Amino acid sequence: MAGEKSVAFVAERQIPPSPPPVKTGGALGWARDNLFSGVFNTVATLLSLAFVAYILAMVVPWLFLDSVWNASSLQGCREVDDGACLAVINERFLQFVFGFYPEELRWRPILAFVLLFVAIWPALFSSAPRKLLIFSALYPLLAYWLIWGGSLWGPVGAVVGLAIGWACIRFLPPLVRGRLDEGLAFLAAVGAGILATALWWLFCVTAFEDALGAVLAIGLEPVESARLGGFLLSTIIGVSGIAGSLPIGIVLALGRQSNLILIKAVCVGFIEFIRGVPLITLLFVAWLLLSYFLPPGTEFDLILRVVIMVTAFASAYMAEVIRGGLAGLPRGQYEAADSLGLDYWKSMRLIILPQALKISIPGIVNTFIGLFKDTTLVIIIGLLDPVGLLQPIRADQNWNGIVWELYGFIALFFFIFCFAMSRYSMYLERNLDVGHR
Amino acid sequence: MRLKTTLVAAAAAAAFSVGAHGATLDDVKAKGFIQCGVSTGLAGFAFTDSDGNWDGFDVVFCRATAAAVFGDPNAIKFTPTTGKTRFTALASGEIDVLYRNTTWTLSRDVDLKFSFLGVNYYDGQGFMIRKDMGVSSASELDGATVCIQTGTTTELNLADFFRANNMSYEPVPIETNAEAQQKYLANACDVYTTDASGLAATRATFENPADHIILPEIISKEPLGPLVRHGDNAWGDIVRWVLNALIIAEEKGITAANVDSMASADTKDPEIKRLLGVEGNYGEMLGLSSDWAVHAIKTGGNYGEIFEKHIGENTAIGLARGLNQLWTKGGILYAPPFR
């Protein structure tokens, strides 16, 4: 037993881990590390805290404690309490959302808005069922029909036109196989398809609409553009601009890199012209000058004109963002695609664009956010978007003199939309981040 | 600059196309409603209520015109126009008539090729200042900082006034009335100058209106009224005589409430009979029904009623009639005889 005595201490079990010292762990440790790690940081932290407290001390009582939700005028608000007069938002909330959209028909834009999420779901998340993409493709016409109303057969006629064009492209080349070079046949089919669609839209849609309308009248009560306003209007312009500018921008960016001189010249000309002109000028053109160029008596909806201009404007910027992505790819990727024997469209679709779009995501989302905020410029041409609604609301004797509450409310709306887009782009970047860095 | 170029180009294009819009009255009758250009929002003059309907002093005149033509004050569509777009909107035919407190000036009448059809509000530029500054006359304003809306006639009037009185001032340029309110209340300028009606409306929204005074001097003439395109005489006559009819109605004591009984009862006054279509064929001359004036007056009452409801002394705007009183009561509101 002598051996045993020579050992002073034997650990028979592991010592349980003890909690870290208070100074380095937990909230206190985190604060020490991040907020008070030196003289400069400590001073900066204290100053910032004081500033935040100062702001909150002003805002919280104003916005929450002393705010007035129920009053019929600014004077009424002031009699109750001296905080924010949120009664104006309470009273005009629906006007901010829908503009002057008829009250009993407001379920239509709401339904369109809900369906919007169904439509963009497959575009945003790869986990969504792929078949939904068909719905996404039909959604623009459905939304148009829901919001503006009118006969169902108008949008259906538009779809039929697209179907005719698609059928030309799909079934014409096999007919001429052997007699024509394959590429040439494809080009000819595309040309024929576009021509057929355009002819259908120009000359046959109205007759189609009238004929089917006479047989079976399905329609919604029409709502004129002048009644659209508020967030509904910003969302219509913003969403259609965003949805339209990405595909058009991709086509323009590819066209700009094309070896075909005509296609390249058209794309460069379009991009440079649109980028060289301020959006406000384009909106003025849409509003006033177009009525000089169009044949007299043409009814061309103002909002539609604005949407086209905004989309064209965003597409030009988008094309340059995507061109940056294309240029950012190593030359080897293009050569690899060629060496696999892929034709142009396949190499673009399978190899080049997925990578190019991925590295352009921040730029693309930047353009989207910029476009969405630019929708407020329509106020210049007298459309009543949320900012445009401010003036007539403030001109009401009851609410004249209110500033912060209304602007703050609109800022909140835009912040929610833009912040959501920004968070989604971050999610997308994380998800697509395979193998780099 | 680009914006200006665009506007000039648009106006030039408009000038060439005026002939194409000659027969507005026929167009209006064919489409079944009037397109009226109003302000995008000016306290008391044009605003939207909580149901989204346009209302206000200028708006009621527009509605009365629609009522005169169609017998229905709602046969009308409003196009909100800004100070920058109002003239191009009218010139391009986007709107049929502009009722947007627009000052009648020579260059607008002649150079821009519009016809002004009368005056529905006589305004003038004034000054607002804090009471505790101890200023009681505009001649004491030497060296003041002045908030002034850029690109308006008021800016030019201000420069003229100070130069004529050998005084100096420091301008604080602002874009909108809302911005001016904030700047003025934050003491960024001593004085705010704009049309007196605008000053009164602005002051009414302050928490303590009594702390501010509007100086007695009015330094410019701002006759505000409706306008149509040059060469649009048949249509212009209608707009002009609806305005005159509402003024005559006040003169003769015809109100929204008693117009029906006046039209049916046997009134002695021959001018009332002519106005309300009991006698003569004045409606026919204008291309309207004989009871057009009855419909116009029923829309919002006579001139005085419209004034009192939207901008008068019992409203938040609180404007006195002043120059806009009838000529028989010390003002200069004077309509040509209805015969």
Please give the residue range of the domain that contains residue B308. Answer: 2-122+223-329
Indicate the residue of B42, B44, B79 with minimum beta-carbon distance to A382: B79
B138 and B196 in a common domain: yes
Which pLDDT band, with edges at 50, 70 and 90, does B3 fall under? very low
Last residue of a domain, one of B204, B220, B236: B220
ipTM over 0.85: no
Q: Which domains does chain A have, with CATH numbers?
A: 102-146 (no CATH), 150-220 (no CATH), 228-387+413-432 (1.10.3720.10)
The answer to whether B92 faces chain A, any CB pair under 8 Å, is yes
CB contact under 8 A, B43 and A397: yes
Last residue of a domain, one of B220, B235, B252: B220
B169 and B142 in a common domain: yes
Residue to substitute from A381, A398, A403, interface B, most B β-carbons within 10 A: A381
Residue B155: inside a domain, yes or no? yes
Indicate the residue of B20, B46, B84 with minimum beta-carbon distance to A395: B46
B251 and B208 in a common domain: no
B184 and B38 in a common domain: no
Q: Which tens digit of pLDDT belongs to each residue from B74-125?
A: 999 998 888 778 888 898 888 999 998 888 989 889 999 999 999 999 999 9
- Asked if residue B7 has pLDDT above 50, the reply is no
Average pLDDT over residues B272-289: 91
Considering A224-233, B109-118, B179-188, B313-322, the range whose residues carry the highest mean pLDDT is: B109-118
B118 and B239 in a common domain: yes
- Asked if residue B11 has pLDDT above 70, the reply is no
pLDDT score of B255: 94
pLDDT score of B17: 45
Which pLDDT band, with edges at 50, 70 and 90, does B44 fall under? confident
Residue B176: inside a domain, yes or no? yes
The angle at the Cα of B96, spanning B94 to B98, to the nearest 5 degrees, equals 95
pLDDT score of B151: 67
CB contact under 8 A, B181 and A292: no
pLDDT score of A122: 87
B190 and B46 in a common domain: no
B259 and B159 in a common domain: no
B156 and B130 in a common domain: yes
pLDDT score of A53: 96
Residues 164-203 of B with CB under 8 A from A: 178, 181-182, 201
- Asked if residue B296 has pLDDT above 80, the reply is yes
Last residue of a domain, one of B220, B236, B269: B220
Residue B335: inside a domain, yes or no? no
Low-confidence ranges of chain A (pLDDT < 50): 1, 437
B237 and B99 in a common domain: yes
pLDDT score of A294: 67
B235 and B99 in a common domain: yes
Indicate the residue of B41, B92, B316 with minimum beta-carbon distance to A288: B92
Domain total of chain B: 2
Residue B182: inside a domain, yes or no? yes
- The alpha-carbon gap from A71 to the nearest alpha carbon of chain B, in Å, equals 13
Q: Which tens digit of pLDDT belongs to each residue from A17-74?
A: 888 777 777 788 888 888 888 899 999 999 999 999 999 999 998 888 888 888 888 8
The structure's pTM equals: 0.80
Indicate the residue of B84, B92, B316 with minimum beta-carbon distance to A380: B84
Chain A residue numbers with beta carbons less than 8 Å from the beta carbon of B207 are 78
Residue to substitute from B8, B50, B57, B98, interface A, most A β-carbons within 10 A: B50
B112 and B19 in a common domain: yes
Residue B259: which CATH number?
3.40.190.10
Which pLDDT band, with edges at 50, 70 and 90, does B203 fall under? confident
Residue B158: inside a domain, yes or no? yes
The answer to whether B49 faces chain A, any CB pair under 8 Å, is yes
Residue of B nearest to A276 (CA): B2
pLDDT score of B4: 47
Residue B338: inside a domain, yes or no? no
Q: What percent of chain B has pLDDT over 90?
A: 50
The answer to whether B106 faces chain A, any CB pair under 8 Å, is no
B230 and B205 in a common domain: no
